[in-house]
Amino acid sequence: MNPFDMLKNIQQMKDQLKSVQEELKELTATGSSGGNIVNVTINGKFEIISVRLDPLCVDPRDVTMLQDLIIAAHHDAMSKIQEAIKAKYGPLLNGMNIPGL
């Protein structure tokens, strides 16, 4: 294989990766828990971008329950965003084993 062709391929891959990274910022998923009283929305870079709490779940006597609901909603959002990334970029990843996906 021609080394210059390899360099072109590497540059194309870098350009694709940069494009994917930008698109991941726009990809979002919302997870919920407690019958939809806690919602956590994350982006494709796994950053939390919003948390919505129904006032029903805010009980100062049971902070532990609220913490558990937030964690569960976050886990739900993580699962959804991972599936969305696999569905959208699966062919591009071409079997690469990326941790967290």
In angstroms, the CA 46 to CA 61 distance is 31
The answer to whether residue 19 is domain-embedded is no
**Residue 54: domain span:** 25-93
In a domain, 47, yes or no: yes
68 within a domain of the structure (yes/no): yes
Does 14 reside within a domain? no
HSE-up of 29 (CA within 13 Å, CB side)? 18
Count up the domains in the chain and report the number. Answer: 1
In a domain, 100, yes or no: no
pTM confidence score: 0.75
Q: Please, which residues bridge with residue 39 across strands?
A: 32, 52
Residue 20 in domain: no
pLDDT tens for the chain, 101 residues long, are 677 777 778 888 888 888 888 888 899 999 999 999 999 999 999 999 999 999 999 999 999 999 999 999 999 999 999 999 888 887 766 655 555 55
Report the CATH number at residue 74: 3.30.1310.10
